[in-house]
Each structure stands twice: as structure tokens, then as C-alpha cells.
Amino acid sequence: MLDAAPIRTDWTRAEAEEIYNLPFMDLLFRAHSVHRQAFDPNQVQKSKLLSIKTGGCPEDCAYCSQSARNGAKLSAAKLIEVERVIAEAKKARDAGATRYCMGAAWRSPKDRDMAALEAMIHGVKDLGMETCMTLGMLEEDQVFRLRDAGLDYYNHNIDTSERYYSEIITTRTFADRIETLSRVREAGMKVCAGGIVGMGEEQMDRIDMLLALATLDEHPDSVPVNMLIPIPDTPLADVAKLDPIEFVRTIALARILMPNSHVRLSAGRTDMSDELQAMCFFAGANSIFVGETLLTADNPEEDKDQQLFDRLGLKAMAAHCEGRIGEAEA
């Protein structure tokens, strides 16, 4: 068995930049070697994401169709019923998903919604699935209520580098994001935090985004890497597409900097070729969202994902199994 890659939280920008800019084959080899030290390279976690409250968000995130401040004009909806969430989770479990993620278009949840959120967590966990929520910024008492309800993961992406952040969002700060992550971690929940690439940022912004996560006191347990899906009428609707090789480099750097984290190949897979996705899996991505939609964006159909898994010899991770080498299933 290969020795485990060391877990470091003291990476420097110079080190990260040097890794990112390695000759591509050397970068892939290094990333895949690190991946094999921690994970079974032929297992990929399947998660499902449901929008439990859509539209009307007061934030001005330039990439998002759910912002009430941009031109996408997506109608606002209320928090959906607990029973519907549990029914959708059961469908996802029966289709092979082991983690269920619930997202609400809020700046932060209101106290009146907390009981329903707690009931959703209980209901999904009773199905034998891991639970994850993304609800915006959290107050300390809200963090503890979610934890006590049994929430396994809290997702709060930092989106981009601190330098580029104000170009994308002005209604909250990069520091606000980091503060929420700290509250979640201190409460004992697992952290899911990543970002979006292809938003017109520079190469160094992609490096700095991952470096910000890799130098936290503890690495996120899950790191989603999203390719921007340009939404008509949003400020980023016409942004130039990112070179796919740059995207693979980003996946590889995430794997090398954060060896024990799940690196999730998230939004944008609909426009990715099978070959590009295969390179991402080789570079260390080992988690995907399944189902036809991601909140409000398109996602590959489950049959297409299974066909790709069959072609590559990939298998889905079992529920409550992190997939790490030497770990028994819970």
C-alpha cells in the first residue's frame, strides 16, 4: 500500500503555483498518485441536490439565476413541504444516491424556517442517507440547531479568490464566508466548501481560491469545483469559456493540496465530454451530483452517468462510506 500523502495546512502560493503549472502529464501523474494514496480510484460518490427554496435571493451573485438583483427574473417560491423533500430523497436513494443535499436561495435562514429544516434532516437521515444543506450564512444558534438535528455536512462555497470576490458578489464579503465555515466546523459538522471557475477570473484566482481552503485549520471534507454555467440575462451570461485543460488543472491542484477531501465534479458537466470528465476523475475528482438538475441548472441524466461509469469501470460509493483507503464502512 502506498504511504498516505501528508496533510498540510501551510501551503504557500509559490508552491501551489508551481504545482498548477507543472507539465500537464506530470501534474496528472502527481494528482493521481496522491488520489490513490487516500481513495479507491474506481469509486465515486453519488450525491443528489434539491432546491428546497428557489428564487428571490437578496444577494447579487453575478452567476446566479436566483438573485433578485440580476436580470434572470426567476420567480421566487416558498420553502417546499417537508413531505415532498423526503419523497424526493427516497427517489434519489433508490436511484443510487447516498448523500442528499438541500439548497435554499437565502442570504441566511429565518428562525421561523428552522423547524421545517430540522424535520427535513430527520426525514432524510431516516432513509439511511447522509445529509447536506446550503442555506447561506448562519448565526451561531442556527448552526447548533442544524447540528443537533443531525446534519452531516454544511455547504458554503467561497466561490472565488478573495481578490476577485468583489467582482462577483458585493452583498457579502469573503470574510463572511470564512466566518460561516468556522462556525460550522467549530460546532462539529463537516464542511463542504469549494467554488466556481470560468467566471472571467485569472489563473492565480483559481489557485488562490483553493489555497484559501487548503490553508484553513482543517481542510473541507468536500470540495465542489464548479464550471460556470452561463445563465441568460445574468451579468456573466457572455463570459468566455474556460479552457478545459485549465479546469482539469484546477481539479488536480485541489486533490494535491487537500489529499483526504472529496473533490466533487459539480456544475457544468452537461457541457463536458466523457473524455474531459474521465480526465477529471483521473486527476482526483471522486464525487458527482446525479439527477437532471442542480438547483435550477441542467445536469446529465442518470442513464448517461451510468453509461460513463460503465465505460470507465467506476462504481458508486456505498452509503456512509467515505471511500478512503483503509476505512471500513460505518
- DSSP string for 135-149: -SS--HHHHHHHHHH
Cα–Cα distance measured from residue 113 to residue 149, given in angstroms and rounded to the nearest whole number: 14
Cell numbers describing residue 168: 462577483
Residue 6 has a pLDDT of 83
Amino acid, res. 158: I
Measured CA to CA in angstroms, residue 267 lies from 117, 217, 272 at distances of 24, 27, 10
Catalytic residue among 30, 64, 99, 269: 64
Amino acid, res. 123: G
Q: If you average pLDDT over residues 180-201, what whole number do you get?
A: 94
18-70: pLDDT as tens digits: 999 999 999 999 999 999 999 999 999 888 888 898 776 778 888 887 776 66
244-292: pLDDT as tens digits: 999 999 999 999 999 999 999 988 888 899 999 999 999 999 999 886 5
Catalytic residue among 30, 57, 93, 269: 57
Cα–Cα distance measured from residue 195 to residue 207, given in angstroms and rounded to the nearest whole number: 11
Q: Predicted confidence band at 105 (pLDDT cuts at 50, 70, 90)?
A: confident
**Least confident segment among 67-76, 130-139, 218-227:** 67-76
Catalytic residue among 192, 255, 269, 280: 192
**Least confident segment among 76-80, 103-107, 184-188, 201-205:** 76-80
- The answer to whether 155 and 294 are in contact (CB under 8 A) is no
Residue tagged 413531505 (cell numbers): 83
Q: Is 132 assigned a catalytic role?
A: yes
Residue 69 has a pLDDT of 60
Catalytic residue among 61, 93, 185, 206: 61
pLDDT at 75 over 80: no
- Round the average pLDDT of the chain to a whole number and report it: 88
Q: Indicate the helix (H) or strand (E) that contains 32.
A: helix 24-38
Cα–Cα distance measured from residue 29 to residue 211, given in angstroms and rounded to the nearest whole number: 20
Residue 158 has a pLDDT of 96
Amino acid, res. 151: L
Which CATH architecture does the domain made up of 13-314 adopt?
A: Alpha-Beta Barrel (3.20)
Catalytic residue among 99, 177, 264, 269: 264
Q: Where are the domains of the chain?
A: 13-314
Cα–Cα distance measured from residue 193 to residue 209, given in angstroms and rounded to the nearest whole number: 10
Angle of helix 24-38 versus helix 244-257 axis, rounded to 10: 40
pLDDT at 1 over 50: no
Q: Is 101 assigned a catalytic role?
A: yes
Residue 17 has a pLDDT of 98
Residue tagged 504557500 (cell numbers): 12
Q: Is 280 assigned a catalytic role?
A: no
Of 155, 182, 199, 214, give the one whose Cα is nearest residue 17.
Answer: 214
Q: Predicted confidence band at 145 (pLDDT cuts at 50, 70, 90)?
A: very high
Residue 295 has a pLDDT of 46
Please tell me what DSSP assigns to residue 169. Answer: -
Q: Predicted confidence band at 330 (pLDDT cuts at 50, 70, 90)?
A: very low
Catalytic residue among 30, 93, 99, 132: 132
212-257: pLDDT as tens digits: 999 999 999 999 999 999 888 888 989 999 999 999 999 999 999 9
Cα–Cα distance measured from residue 183 to residue 168, given in angstroms and rounded to the nearest whole number: 24
Residue 83 has a pLDDT of 94
Q: Is 321 assigned a catalytic role?
A: no
pLDDT at 76 over 80: no
Angle of helix 13-20 versus helix 244-257 axis, rounded to 10: 130
Residue 68 has a pLDDT of 60
- Longest CA–CA span in the chain (Å) reads 53
Amino acid, res. 185: R
Q: If you average pLDDT over residues 151-168, what whole number do you get?
A: 95
- The answer to whether 269 and 301 are in contact (CB under 8 A) is no
pTM of the model: 0.89
Measured CA to CA in angstroms, residue 59 lies from 70, 133, 207 at distances of 9, 18, 25
Q: Cβ atoms within 10 A of the Cβ of 12, count? A: 10
Measured CA to CA in angstroms, residue 203 lies from 169, 198, 206, 247 at distances of 19, 10, 5, 10
User: 253 in helix, strand or coil?
Assistant: helix
